[in-house]
Structure 1
Amino acid sequence: MIIELTFPSYVPVLIVYFSQCSQVTPISGLTNTQPTDLQGLLVELETVLGEIKRLQISHELSVQSLQRTYKEHTEFIEKQMLANINTTTNIKTTIDECGNSCVSTSGKNEQYLKEEMCRSVLSILNEFDNITVKELNEMKDEVISIKGSVTSSIKKCTGFQKDLSQFHEFVQKIGDNKDLCLIASVKCKHILQQALNLLGKSGKAFNVLGYSEHNVKIPSDSGSCLITGCCVLPNGQVLVTDSENYKVKLLNQQYQVVSHCDLADYPQCMCLLTPSKVAVAVNINACNTHEVQFITVTHSQLDPGRKLALQHQCLGISHHQGELFISSATALFKYSLSGKLVCRLYEDRSDGCTGKNNGGFILQHYKFLCPPPGRVAYSI
């Protein structure tokens, strides 16, 4: 530990504290007990470096796709609002022409009816425009949040590429120097582990330290609770979908229900879009309801936002870099956040429920989530 102090005479003084090591082993003494596979290290560096490069390219393409989708949706909204303005003008003109061509016993009544009709039409169009603007603002916030997250990941990829390339070049020049081989191996393993974490390949095993049950039933529930999905927010709060009671419930860090919102039908699954926004897959075949409900968490309250209506079943949902992946019983679809169907990624109609994980869920439905500090929320 090094502490820099400045005395009244403004002379800087360094005070150095040394902590005593319990054991000191020369590097030369470790080279025989800890063999290093230099060739294997080179191969691993090349492999991880290639994966990091591909990840960065994927991130950059995702940002471009996200910006393109947002631009298209903005242009579509602007056209809708312009069409509404033209519609309002045409309706006013039509009402005036109709009033002038009709014979009325009372000029006041005629004027009153015209004004009421105009007010009703304007009210409907204004309400539509307000909803549209709200959706556009919500999508803008989503794009900003997702773009920031992806951009941060791109910067990490760039940094890892530089570090891995330098290590790769260094390892190639080591030759038969065992001491340098050991040092390079230790240093490389550290940076490789960080890179693997970024790639989602940490390889760590989790141990269960404890187990507890929490009741999330609230007075307005008509039946028993059936939790079909959960998401953990950065602040430690937990969102759960209660399929039996058509609800999404917000739990505090003590797993007490602090807010809830009602849904049209059965919530099947849920995924996190931003630190304060989720998308819920809602589906019931009997009523032909297949939709995605967006919900925002604001000051520990749930605010239902726009809905995305689908033409197929909506049983599973996941979000990745500004795109939604939605599964039916037999297919997996990719959507933009604006609701545009990008493509069908997979389909198997050989049975009623097909897919890698079977049981009607192509997206993996077993979720481990980590609320701070170190706790795990698990749902099936």
Structure 2
Amino acid sequence: MYLTRRRLLSLFAGPAAAAGLSAFWTSRMRNYEGPASDHFDGRLFFDPDGSPPKSLGDVLRWQFGRDRRRQPWPEWAPSPYVDTPPPRVSADKVRLSFVGHASWLIQTSGLNILIDPVWSDRASPLSFAGPKRHNAPGIAFDALPEIDAVLVSHGHYDHLDVATLSRLTAKFAARVITPLGNDATMRSADSTIDVEAFDWHHRVELGSGVAVILVPTRHWSARGLFDRNKSLWASFVLETPAGKLYIVCDSGYGDGKHFRRVAEAHGPLRLAILPIGAYEPRWFMRDQHMNPSDAVKALADCGAAQALAHHHGTFQLTDEAIDAPVTALAAALDDANIARERFMALQPGQMVEI
């Protein structure tokens, strides 16, 4: 289906919506330049064991189709928890604090590591339009301890938040680790961000006996409508003295191959952080986002001793109700005869130690 820019804008009612679409039209990643590989064709990245992102026609069908059933979220759904992390945590344990959506603070071995940090009010290129927060970050930005490293999984706005990265750079001069191509996005917005970009399977030493390995995940990347897969996406295996953590920031399930391969290459895993939200409608989201039933299967495939859920309850990106992922996770665990305590869904501001 061929759409001109004017025709596409006309499908969205109101100046704010049109401005939002215009921002996505103009927001583009730069082309990554590097040698071709089994997941890079010289121009775009791809997952040999995954599926390409949905077409623009499918996006419009989802957004404007007559059968859409978008569930309303409350305007504000505050968490009763607020975390004030300690300055450091020793090497014999790991402290994990849920900031919200896909953002975590992980403290271990004297290091403080942020995962996909988003402190902005919206997951969007605009300050006045796009998915907005329905609760505050579980850690106030000014309550953060000294941040040593930041792991950014891919370029979607709910994971790569340039405004937050700039704040972290200004306050802590934190080291940023990300998959190939996302470094150009960061540097084009703020040249002071200390970013290093790596390919799948690369191992990066963070110090104090801690290292991170970038591993394939079933997803894709973009900042606008027409820059899909110009940068790479990844999950992380974080090696710590207290055990290995498998951090899946975004992923579809597929046939479970990605999770089984991580178990084979990096197991045993002490803990997995798995997404459970942003999954409806399934015809559109299945290939890129797991639902809670998929996440329970992913836990079984990767073999982690314990799991924590995320990617739910903060930004409404898809059509399910705000509480649906947590409710469905409990049911999926019961169906699989897995104790609910093995796979917990925290609220922003809650923390666990292992």
Q: Is the pair's TM-score, using the shorter chain for normalization, greater than 0.5? A: no
Q: What TM-score range do you get, normalising by the shorter chain?
A: under 0.3
Task: Tell me the TM-score normalised to structure 2 length.
Answer: 0.26
Task: Tell me the TM-score normalised to structure 1 length.
Answer: 0.24
Of structures 1 and 2, the one scoring higher in RCO (CA 8 A, sep 6+) is: 2
Structure number with larger C-alpha Rg = 1
